[in-house]
Amino acid sequence: MSDPKSDKILSVEHLMMHFGGIKALNDVNLDVERHSITALIGPNGAGKTTVFNCLTGFYKASGGSILLNTQGKPTDVIKILGQPFRGRDFINPAQFASRLYYKMFGGTHRVNRAGLARTFQNIRLFREMSVVENLLVAQHMFVNRSLFAGVLNTPGYRRAESAALDHAFYWLEVVDLVDAANRLAGELSYGQQRRLEIARAMCTRPEIICLDEPAAGLNPAETEALSRIIRYLRDHHGITVLLIEHDMGMVMNISDHIIVLDHGDVIARGAPEAVRHDEKVIAAYLGADEEELV
Ligand SMILES: Nc1ncnc2c1ncn2[C@@H]1O[C@H](COP(=O)(O)OP(=O)(O)OP(=O)(O)O)[C@@H](O)[C@H]1O
């Protein structure tokens, strides 16, 4: 088991993901340093989104381990998603009970509760809800959901509602959307929607946030604003940011570490300058989009 005080907030070992005959991930090993901005890059089809989907529980990995080191304790992501029973569970009652529990009550929500949040390559907001409602829904875990308290509008219920609203407006301020608080999320510009997705993820109070191509479709000014927000998360909230991004200018500019995937394997890792000049990385990008690494 990993050490909860470790500087690694996430450790992935021998991660495999197979779709029938397609090996999207062969044997991925990577660590993410706490409080870092770490970029996961690689040519199209390298397996980046598949890694994210395994980390967040959208896919159940075919093999390997994913350990989160959050909230002062280690969390085995694959276990809390619910695993099939194994033969030896039947001679180990504690193991059997744990497996049964997570089969019944496990799932992606547990990964989020353990302190990991994400955004999506294709924005997935509640488009018919207002901007602020999107942020209130994200906090349902932290508000008082007792029917009794709601009907009687108890002081505790009002306090929790008010705290959730304050929290929502705090994040709207960070992502510069206070003026749009009452607009429908679906009416926002593309760049605003991307920022709202980050605010919504932050409202779940994560320790690590996974951003899937946050700069896709943004103009240079919006990308610059996004970079400032990402740095703010790390510098003012101690958040660890793991991002997939094709905008190499942005990646080289904001990342502390870069991990490079190709054909389902990690082919390089290190500081931006080292990765930029790594021959394996250059070779992987040649033939994909030669301009990408410049
Ligand atoms: N649900 C799925 N079913 C079958 N194959 C899949 C599935 N998801 C991903 N793949 C395959 O896994 C491989 C890796 O895909 P993935 O989307 O993870 O790559 P990526 O590095 O994120 O690419 P991009 O930069 O284009 O988003 C691809 O060959 C893809 O076709």
What DSSP assignment string belongs to 45-114? TSSHHHHHHHHTTSS--SEEEEEEEETTEEEEHHHHT-----GGGGG-HHHHHHHHHHHHH-SHHHHHHT
Tell me the pLDDT of the chain averaged across its residues.
Answer: 89
Q: Is the pLDDT of residue 294 over 70?
A: no
In this prediction, residues 67-96 reach a mean pLDDT of 86
Average the pLDDT over each of 11-25, 49-63, 78-92, 116-130 and give the range with the smallest value.
Answer: 78-92
Range ranked top by mean pLDDT from 87-101, 130-144, 223-237 = 223-237
Question: pLDDT grade, residue 272 (50/70/90)?
Answer: very high
Q: Is the pLDDT of residue 271 over 70?
A: yes
Whether residue 237 contacts residue 229, with contact meaning beta carbons closer than 8 Å, is answered with no
Q: Is 26 helix (H, G, I), strand (E, B) or coil?
A: strand
Whether residue 273 contacts residue 256, with contact meaning beta carbons closer than 8 Å, is answered with no
- Which bin fits 231, alpha (ψ -120 to 50), beta or left (φ > 0)? alpha
CA distance 243 to 117: 12
- Nearest alpha-carbon partner for 256 in 34, 3, 4: 34
Question: pLDDT grade, residue 21 (50/70/90)?
Answer: confident
pLDDT at 160: 78
| Residue type present at position 259 | I
Q: Return the residue whose CA atom lies nearest to atom 16 of ligand 1.
A: 47
pLDDT at 68: 96
Whether residue 32 contacts residue 38, with contact meaning beta carbons closer than 8 Å, is answered with yes
Atom of ligand 1 minimally distant from the CA of 46: 21
CA distance 86 to 254: 44
Q: Is the pLDDT of residue 289 over 60?
A: no
Average the pLDDT over each of 93-107, 128-142, 200-214, 240-254 and give the range with the smallest value.
Answer: 93-107
For the chain, the distance separating the N- and C-terminal CA atoms, rounded to the nearest angstrom, is 40
Spell out which residues line ligand 1, taking CB within 6 angstroms. 19, 22, 24, 42, 44-50
pLDDT at 242: 98
Q: Is the pLDDT of residue 146 over 80?
A: no
Give the distance (Å) from ligand 1 centre to CA of residue 248.
Answer: 20
Q: What is the pLDDT of residues 154-189, one digit of tens each?
A: 767 778 788 899 999 999 999 999 999 999 999 999
Whether residue 115 contacts residue 71, with contact meaning beta carbons closer than 8 Å, is answered with yes
Q: Is the pLDDT of residue 290 over 70?
A: no
Q: Is the pLDDT of residue 209 over 80?
A: yes
Strands 8-19 and 63-70: antiparallel
pLDDT at 158: 77
Q: Tokens 């990408």 label which residue? A: 292
CA trace torsion 186, 192, 193, 195 (10° rounding): -150
pLDDT at 2: 47
Question: pLDDT grade, residue 142 (50/70/90)?
Answer: low
Atom of ligand 1 minimally distant from the CA of 121: 27
pTM: 0.88
Q: Is the pLDDT of residue 65 over 60?
A: yes
Give the distance (Å) from ligand 1 centre to CA of residue 50.
Answer: 6
Atom of ligand 1 minimally distant from the CA of 17: 12
CA distance 59 to 46: 16
